[in-house]
Amino acid sequence: MLAGHHVVEIFDEEEARALLKDIGVDPGAYIYLLPKAFFRFIKLKNISARAALIIKQEMLAKGGEAAISRSALSAEGYSDVLLMGNLKHYRLLLDKLKVQPFGLKSLAAEIGAMLEAVVLKRATIALPGKRSLDLGGRPLVMGILNVTPDSFSDGGKFSDTELAVEHALEMAEEGADIIDIGGASSRPGTHIVDETEELKRVMPVVEKLAGHNLTLSIDTFRGSVAEACLAAGVHIVNDIGRLQLDPGLLPVVVRHRAMIIMMHNRLQMPSEEPYKDLIADIIDELHQSAAQAEAAGVARDRIVIDPGIGFGKTPAQSRYIIRHLHEFNSLGYPVLLGASRKSFIGKTLGLEVDDRLEASLAVTAMAVMNGAQIIRVHDVKESRRVIDMTWAIMQEKGHDGRARVVQ
């Protein structure tokens, strides 16, 4: 007879506090107990063997664990390091690393920043045109508005300006927080149109929607297209090239103080080397672009990252990214996920593009649970409901402490 004994899951500090309160723990002990309630794994890449040995020694001394390559025991070469410990272990470790050689002081700062970043915080982000976005709370919906004849899912449906405007307003009514306007399809195998044609497609729609109370995004990698759209009232640039396809884009974003979404992409930007460590490689490339943007003057809170589902990833890699999406929060930027109706769903379940709604919604729920703050979708009404219900479940802490959820 177990008498109610059970394994407990604690998702955040608020829930941990509620559990301690239910038990009747002295509140003065919370400061000592809470750091022990959260276990974190951190993977460090290409650490010198001498530094890795120090990290392992210090983490073990603090009660945590650190795994390093067997070859690093000779104190030569480099090794990845897997750290395992609770927040107390990390706090004690970082205090020690701050006074160690071999670059460990700066590494300690990076580890500390990652531990802070994975705890999502609410923030209101200023956008051009006196608009703003609230991030870190209920995830936002970005509704897709393709004004193209050849997009993989809805190509040709909204090429007419009036139909496009009508659809945008409908998506806003259904709960879209952002309308993402695209005039150049980037699907595999397609020819990307020139900037003249792209502008011809998007500008009439942008100009009409700018008169409405909407937050607008332009899906482009071109500086000239972004310039025209931002000047006309767009607030966000959604760049599939993470600033690498057109050097003219970054100055435009800086000048307009726009938000930029940077997507990882090995489809239009193939790499000569295959992925060696999928998540780490994507994080590294996104970090390089984000650092480039910050160095040029883009405010850190106006940068959003997107792992680029399907863009140079196999279906298995896309599924793995979604399962491990929370790891991208390590960079400290809001994460957008765009997986709606994509081919990895079709290849996983054997479904045609018009029959992928339920699977897309499953991905949406998983993305919300794994820390995505913006979800880019075709089906706004259904996605909004899934996001809101998933979020409501995630936020349920109980009415009077964790053990007293009775209604």
Assess whether 97 and 160 both reside in one domain.
Answer: no
Q: Do residues 94 and 172 both lie within one domain?
A: no
DSSP secondary structure of 213-278:
S--EEEE---HHHHHHHHHHT--EEEETTTT-S-TTHHHHHHHHT-EEEEE--SSSS--SS--SSH
Domain assignment present for 251:
yes
324 belongs to a structural domain: yes
| Tens of pLDDT, residues 244-283 | 999 999 999 999 999 999 999 988 777 768 899 999 999 9
Residue after which a domain boundary falls, among 95, 117, 139:
117
Nearest of 212, 162, 174, 163 to residue 154 by alpha carbon:
163
Question: Last residue of a domain, which of 90, 117, 144?
Answer: 117
Give this prediction's pTM.
0.92
DSSP 74: G
Which residue type occupies 188? P
Assess if residue 67 is contained within a domain.
yes
Q: Are residues 96 and 207 in the same domain?
A: no
Please indicate, yes or no, if residue 405 is contained in any of the structural domains: no
Same domain for 340 and 278, yes or no, is yes
DSSP secondary structure string for all residues of 299-346? -GGGEEEE--TTSS--HHHHHHHHHTGGGGGGGSS-BEEE-TT-HHHH
In a domain, 5, yes or no: no
Q: Is residue 172 part of a domain?
A: yes
Tokens at residue 36, please? Answer: 């022990």
196 shares a domain with 163: yes
3-state SS, residue 142: strand
Shortest CA distance to 97 belongs to which of 87, 78, 111, 83? Answer: 111
User: Domain containing 370 — which CATH number?
Assistant: 3.20.20.20
pLDDT tens digits in sequence order for the chain, 407 residues long: 568 888 888 888 888 998 999 899 999 999 999 999 999 999 999 999 999 999 999 999 999 999 999 999 888 899 999 999 999 999 999 999 999 999 999 999 999 999 999 988 889 999 999 999 999 899 999 999 999 875 555 555 667 899 999 999 999 999 999 999 999 887 766 778 899 999 999 999 999 999 999 999 999 999 999 999 999 999 999 999 999 999 999 999 999 999 999 999 988 777 768 899 999 999 999 999 999 999 999 999 999 999 999 999 999 999 999 999 999 999 999 999 999 999 999 999 999 999 999 999 999 999 999 999 999 999 999 999 999 999 999 988 764 555 454 44
Cβ(51)–Cβ(103) below 8 Å: yes
Distance of alpha carbon 23 from alpha carbon 11, whole angstroms: 17
Residues 150 and 275 in one domain: yes
Same domain, 135 and 159: yes
Name the residue range of residue 177's domain.
123-395
Residues 299 and 283 in one domain: yes
Same domain, 51 and 77: yes
Residues 236 and 270 in one domain: yes
One-letter amino acid of 108 = A
Domains of the chain: total: 2
Last residue of a domain, one of 117, 133, 166: 117
Q: What is the CATH number of the domain that holds 70?
A: 3.30.70
Beta strands in 69-107, from DSSP E residues, in sequence order: 78-86
**What pLDDT digit, counting tens, does each position of 47-63 carry?**
999 999 999 999 999 99
- Whether residue 317 is contained in a domain is answered as yes
For residues 83 and 230, membership in a common domain is answered with no
144 and 191 share one domain: yes
Active site residues: 342, 376
10 within some domain: no
